[in-house]
Structure 1
Amino acid sequence: MSFNILIIGQRGRLTHEAALFAATLRHNAPGWSGRLLVGEPQPGPRWPDDPRIPSGPQRALLEELGAEIMPFETRHFGSYYPHGNKIEALAAMPPGPFLFMDTDTVITADLSELQIDFARPAASLKREGTWPTPELYGPGFNEIWGDLHVRRGARLADTIDPEEPDEHWRRYLYFNAGWFFGDDPQAFHRAFLDAALMIRDDPPESLVCQELDPWLDQAALPLAIHELGGGRPGSRPQDKGGIADGLLDGSHSFHYRFLPLMYATAPDHVIAATEAATAPNRVKKVLKEYEPFRRFLYQPKGAKARAMFDRGDLPRKEQAIRNRLKREGLWLR
């Protein structure tokens, strides 16, 4: 199965994370034959500083690993909402099936093994009930999500999971925007952008008390996916054995967000695959320039963080994990 992968790269943390992503992709997915596109926002009025990946060892490593730096224009978001990069970069992609992944992700097995129905867009279900947060006296989930879907010409009833109770956040179509896919990046761009701009610029009254930073992309993503004929991954019988069954966010990739969290929480195969991909000297000499990578991938902090937690009995709340890492001096971001 051939498809393109899009990640975002720009000056700062994402430059280093893009290099780690590319290293794990090339080492752990040798059978994958698509293009790795690193979306690079270009300077303009929405960026007070130049956001491009600077010349240097990280950019050189990306190119050595076969990544294609893909410039794109920022017309609607920019520095005030960098999460919007994933929306705007889609417009610069070549035609064909695509998989977007957040840059703070590692690839842990061969993506050529995936069976993806790109004609039915979907996104990650590795999420918590982060948005919306209904007020005590309303409006509730039904009203908020119902108003948003109606604005996009859809019906709330067509999106709910009837196995979940009324007014429970899991009943409603909601994703983590850490990965999503489709068969037409231009169509996905238009639907995603239109939904995000509607929520930002002309929201229904039921959203008046809702925070949209940083949740705007995750509020808009379900509207775009539903509009394009998609839904929850694995929600149809023919999806079994496909992308939802523990492959992405499981055996084949891990969205780590911060390396301390990865070492504290990830299964053993994630750590083994990541450390194997980052061991070659040509990769190591570049990645170790970034302090979190140096301290966790190549020095003892990773092992120390891992020894502190039982992966089979992790705290229910991520904040408890973060707090414990911070107390032990093992939090870097």
Structure 2
Amino acid sequence: MAEQPPFNIVIVAQNGRLQYEAILFAASLRHASPGFTGRLFVATPRPGPLWKKDPSLRSQQVLSVLERLGAEILPFDSQLFGENYAYGNKIEALQALPEGEPFVFFDSDTLITGELSEVPFDFSRPSASLRCEGTWPKPTLYGPGYTGIWRALYDRFGLDFESSLDLSQPEGYWRRYLYFNAGFFYGACPRRFGARFAEYATSIRDDLPVELVGQSLDPWLDQIVLPLVIHSFGGGRDALPSGYLDGQTSCHYRLFPLLYARETDHVIKVLHEASAPNWIKKVLKTYEPMKRMIYQGRGEKVRALFDQANLPRREQAIRNRIKSEGLWMR
């Protein structure tokens, strides 16, 4: 396998839950991917008029552990989104990254479970997570349908709609249309990617195409825009071979009860090994869900409720079973 060019990783963290997820992400990266030679940035929004409370990382304990894990704290300004749409952090943070250097963005609620240096990224063809469901759009009885809604967005930005389609999927089925989970995405230059991401997102937010009337933008705006940005840079659903990210190399777990309920034994092993050192454990135990789930055995009780080879098809059924046993935490 050809050696991958150096690239940077960025996650977003702020005061609260995300700072502990950031520690766990960084710990899993160092544990499972010793061959990664790029820089790890933990982007954090500065306080400002778009935030009611200071969102920045301020805990000296947290900052000390992140520094020891080789993370670089990267403050950025919230000029477009802020507290009203915190998912916009992933858009605005990109402008603070080094220009012209390939990047991979991960949501903070992710574990690195394998060697990232072996993932065959082609940064000239960006892509994102295909571990998603048909969450958007939700066509109404009186239309337009999937095709009309998506075509309006491609037309808004002068993009070729037809070349984005997966023609092996039937008309009106959500998988026919380019759609990603924004849990990870990557590209050749974070500033160019981020500028286009911001341009498209604010255009849709501030001047809604008539075809989108009745469609929810919150929390879906980043996932509506992401496929448009990726397509505009020549990327797509087939740019990254399957089995690496959201597979053997990373796990977007989202919530700890879901992690224990449905992820592989290998993911659980990485979680426990990466969080085991006392200097990491000391800080993670100050966050109640991690304390109870990882260190006090509640996670293993959740895991025992399910056969990981035969899980319920719907996530809501998993959630309901965990809640019925009094083991749910978030």
From 192, 211, 224, the counterpart of 2:216: 211
Partner of 2:270: 273
Shift of 1:274: 1.2
Shift of 1:248: 0.4
Shift of 1:280: 1.2
**Amino acid paired to 2:121:** I
CA distance in 2, matches of 1:144, 1:302: 41
Partner of 1:164: 169
Q: Summarize the alignment of residues 3-152 of structure 1 with structure 2, pairs less than 5 Å apart.
A: 3-95=7-99, 96-152=101-157
CA deviations 1:10-37 (Å, max 9, x no partner) are: 0111111101111111111111001000
Partner of 2:301: 304
**Amino acid paired to 1:33:** T
CA deviations 1:134-187 (Å, max 9, x no partner) are: 002211000000000011101221100000000100000000000000001111
From 234, 237, 240, the counterpart of 1:232: 237
Shift of 1:245: 1.9
Unpaired stretches in structure 2, ≥5 consecutive residues: none
From 316, 326, 330, the counterpart of 1:329: 326
**Amino acid paired to 1:46:** L
Shift of 1:56: 2.3
Q: Is residue 2:310 matched to residue 1:313?
A: yes
Is the 8 Å Cα contact of residues 29 and 107 (structure 1) preserved in structure 2? yes
User: How many pairs does the alignment contain?
Assistant: 325
CA distance in 2, matches of 1:278, 1:300: 14
CA distance in 1, matches of 2:280, 2:32: 14
CA distance in 2, matches of 1:4, 1:305: 35
- Please state whether the residue corresponding to 2:323 is helix, strand or coil: helix
Is the 8 Å Cα contact of residues 120 and 241 (structure 2) preserved in structure 1? no
CA deviations 1:103-137 (Å, max 9, x no partner) are: 00011111111110000010000000000000022
- Please state whether the residue corresponding to 1:180 is helix, strand or coil: strand
- Please state whether the residue corresponding to 1:79 is helix, strand or coil: helix
CA deviations 1:70-127 (Å, max 9, x no partner) are: 0101000000100000000000000200000000001111111111000001000000
Q: Is residue 2:251 matched to residue 1:254?
A: yes
CA distance in 2, matches of 1:245, 1:218: 20
Shift of 1:314: 1.0
- Please state whether the residue corresponding to 2:185 is helix, strand or coil: strand
CA distance in 1, matches of 2:158, 2:248: 37
TM superposition outliers: structure 1 runs of 4+ over 6 Å: none
- Please state whether the residue corresponding to 2:82 is helix, strand or coil: coil
Shift of 1:285: 1.1
CA distance in 1, matches of 2:204, 2:305: 42
- Please state whether the residue corresponding to 2:54 is helix, strand or coil: coil
CA deviations 1:270-309 (Å, max 9, x no partner) are: 1011111111111111111111111111111111111111
Is the 8 Å Cα contact of residues 123 and 233 (structure 1) preserved in structure 2? no
After superposition, the CA RMSD in angstroms is 0.9
Partner of 1:180: 185
- Farther off after superposition, 133-142 or 167-176: 133-142
The TM-score normalised by the length of structure 1 is 0.96
Unpaired stretches in structure 1, ≥5 consecutive residues: 235-242
**Amino acid paired to 1:126:** R
CA distance in 1, matches of 2:148, 2:195: 25
- Farther off after superposition, 100-109 or 280-289: 280-289
- Please state whether the residue corresponding to 1:320 is helix, strand or coil: helix
Is the 8 Å Cα contact of residues 95 and 194 (structure 2) preserved in structure 1? yes
Is the 8 Å Cα contact of residues 45 and 56 (structure 2) preserved in structure 1? yes
Shift of 1:4: 0.2
Is the 8 Å Cα contact of residues 37 and 68 (structure 1) preserved in structure 2? yes
CA distance in 2, matches of 1:143, 1:27: 46
